[in-house]
Amino acid sequence: MKALVVNCTLKKSPEPSDTAALAQVVGDWLAENEGVEVEYVRAVDLDIHPGVVSEAVAAGDDWPAVHAKLLQAQILVVASPTWLGRPSSVAQRVLERMDAMLSETDDEDRPVAYNRVAGVVVTGNEDGAHHLISEINGALCDIGSTIPGQSWTYWHLGPGPGPDYLDDGRGHDWAHKTGRAMAANLYGTARALAASPLGAPPQ
């Protein structure tokens, strides 16, 4: 089984990313406990052009390679920081490009996101994690992904400015425990769908 973690931080590599660090907790559990092959993509490192198509918008558009990875993975984790109580602009661009998957089907006329599971990781210093989880999971559900119960984790220290995840250990125990539960739920649901996949929607 394969998992893809799309980190939508605004920080380019190799700058440390709070969002990457928390998403790694989920990925490590999948890899170490269930042998899942986990791949990480930091979207801001790529040249992802604006648009709502899966093919390249223009020369140099890196989205088609990410789209191919989405189709190879049974588990998707979208990780985003909180800015102004909203998902990052990078997360919005990723979701806009995934919009094209609404009209893509496999050889059995199923939407290509069917029988794939998805979850969300959020970091940030202002309260708003549940809002981000709702927005991102809602978009992934629209596309056709299966969203298991408690398929998210987040970390923040309340409203207003404050320390970063990597600089402050407070709240880590809860966020990591929730992240491990998230990983287990994603894997269990993905395994169930593999054994009994959804068919094409009725016409």
How confident is the model at residue 164, as a pLDDT?
87
What is the pLDDT, as a whole number, of residue 115? 98
Q: What pLDDT score does 96 carry?
A: 98
Give the separation between CA 8 and CA 135, rounded to whole angstroms: 14
pLDDT tens track, the chain, 203 positions: 999 999 999 999 999 999 999 999 999 999 999 999 999 999 999 999 999 999 999 999 999 999 999 999 999 999 999 988 899 999 999 999 999 999 999 999 999 999 999 999 999 877 789 999 999 999 999 999 999 999 999 998 877 777 889 999 989 999 999 999 999 999 999 999 999 999 999 98
CB 155 within 8 A of CB 17: no
Question: Tokens at residue 27, please?
Answer: 């990925």
Tell me, what's the pLDDT at 163?
83
Which pTM was predicted? 0.95
| Nearest by Cα to 91 from 122, 125, 55 | 122
